[in-house]
Amino acid sequence: MSKVGTSGEVETPRAWRRAMRATTVVTCLGIAALLFELVTDYDLLVLLVAGALLFVAGVAWMVLGPIGCAKYREYLAVAAAPIVVGLGLGLAFSGLPDRLAWWLSEGAMTRAAQDCSDSGAWFGVMRVDNVYRTDGGCVFARYATDGGVAYFAPGTTPPDGPPQPYRHVYEPFAPNWYRFSTPILHD
């Protein structure tokens, strides 16, 4: 057991330290699951598991944290879980998971775009629901809302113009690659 303080030595119980370590580990697992889901777009279940882990860790931290600060003066142990959450959310919102997914998948997707066979599959770490030809390019639809990425051979570009209902709108993001969405416009 560790001792803290100068006048009244307060011992930090092993059970509290183990519980705080477990809270930090569960927090790390929750953030890791969240980042995994962001990189791979694997399954909604992974996102739900990440949320459940972070919820459980958050409740445990809200009980153990104030006790550790007030009674045992264990500030570093209490700060570990929020630091992990802050770093994880910073990574999630930085766009790094998208860039990492693209870096790991670009070669496989470029090879698949050459023949553009109609199917859904995994290309690198990116799951694609549907692959099809349209607008002179090869479209890899990743989302139920018909968004994703599209490949246009060198020297070609996607159609340009004002958005029209149910027509893809393209935005360049890598050489020969475009992100697309399909707006539903109302008059």
Among 10-14, 48-52, 163-167, 173-177, the minimum mean pLDDT is found in 163-167
- Name the pTM for this structure: 0.77
Cα distances (Å, whole numbers) of residue 42 to 23, 99, 108, 156, 174: 25, 16, 17, 31, 23
pLDDT score, position 146: 66
Which has more confidence, 177 or 168? 177
* Position 187 pLDDT exceeds 70: no
**How much of the chain exceeds pLDDT 90, in percent?**
59
Residue 168: CA atoms inside 13 Å, Cβ hemisphere, count?
A: 25
Confidence bin at 94 (pLDDT 50/70/90): very high
| CA 101 from centre of chain | 10
pLDDT score, position 8: 56
pLDDT, one tens digit per residue, over 25-79 is 999 999 999 999 888 877 889 999 999 999 999 999 999 999 999 999 999 999 9
* Position 107 pLDDT exceeds 50: yes
- Report the 3 state secondary structure along the chain: CEEECCCCCEEECHHHHHHHHHHHHHHHHHHHHHHHHHHHCCCHHHHHHHHHHHHHHHHHHHHHHHHHHHHHCCHHHHHHHHHHHHHHHHHHHHCHHHHHHHHHHHHHHHHHHHHCCCCCEEECCEEECEEEEECCEEEEECCCCCCEEEECCCCCCCCCCCCCCCCCEEEEEECCEEEEECCCCCC
Cα distances (Å, whole numbers) of residue 67 to 25, 97, 125: 19, 36, 42
Which has more confidence, 26 or 2? 26
Kindly report the CA angle at 9 between 4 and 12, in degrees rounded to 5? Answer: 55
* Position 5 pLDDT exceeds 50: no
pLDDT score, position 185: 64
